[in-house]
Amino acid sequence: MRHGKHTFKIGRTSSHRRCMMANMKKSLVLHGRVETTVRKGKELKREADKLITIAKKGGLSATRRASAELMVTYNKLNSKEAREAKGGNTTSYNGDRQVIKKLFEVSERNKERNGGYTRLIRTSNRVGDNAERCIVEFL
């Protein structure tokens, strides 16, 4: 029995689902909105709200927990990229280095809010398989 186990399986293995959700959360944080199917969107909304709650606490522990949730990888910078980064140029960073910083900026915007940091807007059906689509975005 799976009492109390709430997740949409979305027809994927657990490892595939975990990686897909991490990528979707990264895209949501970086771009502010993601277009996907309704089923994936509902799951993304649940997980993104939990992620913002972690980030609102702040500190090193929250940073590490958020990095683990998002599966952030830090590519080693070569000497030229490191010099540029030290000078303030962050274009040499990959997206994973920027996602944690943006996540904490989003959490600062929602400091007074007690939950419900994202909204799900239903749009038209997809042409190929008529799947319901939606847009998940931050408030």
Instruction: Give the range among 67-71, 84-88, 102-106 with minimum mean pLDDT.
Output: 84-88
Among 4, 68, 11, 13, which residue's Cα sits nearest to residue 40? 11
Dihedral of alpha carbons 30, 36, 40, 41, sign:
positive
Whole-number pLDDT of residue 89 = 67
Helix spans in the chain (H): 14-31, 38-57, 59-70, 79-86, 95-109
Domain 14-138 maps to which CATH number in 3.90.1030.10, 3.20.20.70, 2.40.37.10, 3.40.50.970?
Answer: 3.90.1030.10
Percentage of the chain beyond pLDDT 90 is 53
